[in-house]
Amino acid sequence: MPRKLLYLIVFIEGFCSLGAEIIALRRLVPHVGSAIVVTAPTIGLFLLALALGYGSGARVSERFTAVVARNFVIAALLAGIGLARITVDGLFTLVQPTWLAYLLFIGGVLCPLAWLLGQTVPVLTNLMKHMRTGEASGYALYWSTLGSFLGSVSLSLVMMQWLGVSAAVLMCAVLLTLGSLLLAKPDWQAWSKALMVGLAAAFINLQPNAEVVDTAYADYTIKPLPQPGQATRRAFMINNSLASIMDDSQPPNYARYVQHLRHIILDELGLSGREILVLGAGGFTLSHQEPSNHYTYVDIDAEIRAIAEQRFLKGPIEGSFIVDDARRFVRSTDKQFDAVVVDVFSSHTSIPGHLVTREFWQDTRRTLAPRGILLINLILDGRLETPYARNLLATIESVYGRCAVEVLHKSAPLSNVIVSCYDSSHPGRSAPYTDERNNADLDLALSQ
C-alpha cells in the first residue's frame, strides 16, 4: 500500500471521528442542552468506544484494507444518516424520556462510529512493514491526530458557520465514502455499496427545510401561535424552546416577560434617551417599535439577526447588534449602560454554565452606569424551591445584595422570574429579628 495513501486514510479517520463527536454535541443541544453534565459523559463515552476500537483493531490479523474499507462504509452510513437532523429530531420526538433517547443516540450512532474508526490505525500499521514499529505507529498517529485537529477546527469554525450543520454531516459521510473507495480493490459490489451510502447521506442532508434554520449554535424555527384577537401571532423558537412571541397587531403583543421588562424600563423607571444593553438577542422584541432608548444586543450567533429580521420581525431590528460571547463582552467593554438585560439561554431552561457564576455577575456590574439597573430573565420553578433556583438567586445577591424577585407564573411548574438589581446595592450583613433581640424599630428609623 503506498505510504501517502495510508496517511490519507488515517487522516480521514481522524478528521471524521472528531468531526462526528463535534456534530453529535451540536445535535444534542436542542434536546438536552450543552451543560457539562451532558458534554462530559458524551465525550467520555466517545473516548471509551474509541479505546475499544483500538483494542479490536489490534486483533485483526488479515484482510487489513478490506476491514478498514468495510468499517468506513458503515461509519459513513452512521454519520450520514444517524447524525442527520431529521434522524436526531425524530429520535427525541418518538422516544421518551429524554435520557433514554440520549442513550439510544450515543449507543446506536456515536459509539459504534467511534469504535469502527478507532480500528483504523492499529489495522493499517500492519501494512507499514518497511518501517520500525515505533516509526510506523508514530507517523500513523501523527496524521490521524492532524486530521482530528483540522476536522474540529474546519467543521466548527468554517463549515457549520457558513453552510450549516447538515453540510458538516455530509462532509464527514463523503470523506468516509471516499476513503472506502480508495481502499477497496476494483470490486463493483464494494464500490456500489459505498456510492449508495454517499448518495443516501447526500439525499437526507440536502433536503430543503423551510421551517428550520440550523447554525453552528442553534436551530431556529418560526411557528404560528393562533390566538383570538391577535393577528398572525408567531413564536421564535431557538433549540425547540420558545424564545419570543409577537404578532402583527398595532401595537404588537409580545411575550409576557418581554412586556414586563418593557413596563419596568419605560413606565416604572421612565428611561428615555438611555443606553440599554441586552445580553442574548432572542427575537429582538425588547426594542421593537420602541424609539425612546438605544438598545445594544449581544449574541454569540451572527446568523440570528438575519433570521429574526426576515422570518420573525419582518423588518430590520431597532438598535445595534454585536456578535460576541456575553461574558467576554461584559468583561472587555469599557462602555457603561443605564440598564443591562440578561436573557441568555441555550435551551428552554438551560443557561450556559459560565453565565451563572459570581464572576459573571461581577462583570455585569462593571457595565452599569451610576444608578443603573440590572434586569435578569430566569426560568425557574414557580415556588423557587429547587436547589438551582435558591443557589442561582443567592449567587446574584452575593454580588448585588438584595434584589427584587418577581415570579410571573406562580402556579406553573416553570416560570419566568424577573430579577432587578441596582448598581447602588451591595451585599451586607443581616440579622433576623427575634423576641429576645428585636431591632426592627431602630432599623426602620435608620432607613428613613
CATH number at residue 40: 1.20.1250
Over residues 170-190, the mean pLDDT reads 83
436 assigned to some structural domain: no
Q: How far is CA 50 from the centre of its chain?
A: 24
Parallel, antiparallel or unpaired: strands 219-224 and 212-214? antiparallel
What does the pLDDT look like over 249-280, one tens digit per residue? 888 889 999 999 999 999 999 999 999 999 99
pLDDT value of position 355 = 87
Q: Which position has the grid cell 444608578?
A: 371
Domain end (from 188, 208, 228): 208
Over residues 342-349, the mean pLDDT reads 74
- Most confident segment among 133-142, 229-238, 355-364: 355-364
Mean pLDDT is lowest, of 131-135, 153-157, 314-318, 366-370, for 131-135
DSSP 8-class letter at 159: I
How many domains in the chain? 2
Give yes or no for residue 136 having a pLDDT over 80: no
pLDDT value of position 432 = 80
439 assigned to some structural domain: no
* Size of the chain, expressed as the number of residues it contains: 448
Tell whether 71 and 52 lie within a shared domain. yes
Domain end (from 161, 177, 208): 208
Over residues 80-102, the mean pLDDT reads 91
Tell whether 226 and 166 lie within a shared domain. no
Give yes or no for residue 53 having a pLDDT over 70: yes
Give yes or no for residue 433 having a pLDDT over 80: no
Q: Please state whether 380 falls in left (phi above 0), alpha (psi between -120 and 50) or beta.
A: beta
CATH number at residue 402: 3.40.50.150
- Collapsed DSSP state (helix, strand, coil) of residue 175: helix
Tell whether 147 and 260 lie within a shared domain. no
pLDDT value of position 338 = 94
More confident position, 190 or 218: 218
Mean pLDDT is lowest, of 19-33, 122-136, 288-302, for 122-136
83 assigned to some structural domain: yes
Indicate the Cα dihedral angle 400, 330, 162, 201, nearest 10°. Answer: -30
- Compute how many other C-beta atoms are within 10 angstroms of the C-beta atom of residue 88: 23
CA-to-CA distance for 111 and 74, rounded, in angstroms? 13
435 assigned to some structural domain: no
Tell whether 204 and 248 lie within a shared domain. no
How distant, in Å, are the alpha carbons of 28, 36, 155 from that of 42?
10, 10, 18
Rounded to two decimals, the pTM is 0.81
pLDDT value of position 448 = 66
Tell whether 261 and 376 lie within a shared domain. yes
Give yes or no for residue 201 having a pLDDT over 60: yes
What contacts 123, CB < 8 A, 6 or more positions away? Answer: 57, 60, 64, 67, 68
444 assigned to some structural domain: no
CA-to-CA distance for 253 and 242, rounded, in angstroms? 15
Strand partners, 305: none
What contacts 303, CB < 8 A, 6 or more positions away? Answer: 213, 215, 220
Residue 139 banded pLDDT, cuts 50, 70, 90 = confident
Look up the domain containing 386 and give its range.
Answer: 219-422
Tell whether 371 and 266 lie within a shared domain. yes
CA-to-CA distance for 400 and 117, rounded, in angstroms? 51
Q: Are 166 and 84 in contact (CB under 8 A)?
A: yes
- Compute how many other C-beta atoms are within 10 angstroms of the C-beta atom of residue 114: 26
Tell whether 228 and 369 lie within a shared domain. yes
pLDDT value of position 331 = 92
What contacts 385, CB < 8 A, 6 or more positions away? Answer: none
Q: Are 199 and 191 in contact (CB under 8 A)?
A: no
CA-to-CA distance for 58 and 123, rounded, in angstroms? 6
Tell whether 92 and 229 lie within a shared domain. no
For the chain, state the CA radius of gyration.
27
CA-to-CA distance for 352 and 354, rounded, in angstroms? 6
Strand partners, 299: 323
Tell whether 235 and 330 lie within a shared domain. yes
Q: Which helix (DSSP H) or strand (DSSP E) does residue 212 occupy?
A: strand 212-214
Strand partners, 275: 294
Q: What average pLDDT does the structure give for the chain?
A: 87
Give yes or no for residue 441 having a pLDDT over 80: no
331 assigned to some structural domain: yes
Three cell numbers at 56?
479490536
339 closest CA partner among 380, 313, 371, 374 = 374
Over residues 413-425, the mean pLDDT reads 90
Residue 438 banded pLDDT, cuts 50, 70, 90 = confident
Query: Percent of the chain at pLDDT above 90?
Result: 46
9 assigned to some structural domain: yes
Give yes or no for residue 179 having a pLDDT over 70: yes
What does the pLDDT look like over 216-232, one tens digit per residue? 888 888 888 877 766 68
Mean pLDDT is lowest, of 168-182, 356-370, 422-436, for 422-436
Residue 242 banded pLDDT, cuts 50, 70, 90 = confident
Cα four-point dihedral sign 395, 399, 404, 409: negative
Give yes or no for residue 349 having a pLDDT over 60: no
442 assigned to some structural domain: no
Residue 420 banded pLDDT, cuts 50, 70, 90 = very high
Helix 3-32, helix 111-118: angle, nearest 10: 170
What contacts 413, CB < 8 A, 6 or more positions away? Answer: 381, 382
CA-to-CA distance for 302 and 279, rounded, in angstroms? 14
Tell whether 290 and 161 lie within a shared domain. no
Mean pLDDT is lowest, of 50-54, 131-135, 317-321, 415-419, for 131-135
Tell whether 46 and 26 lie within a shared domain. yes
Tell whether 223 and 304 lie within a shared domain. yes
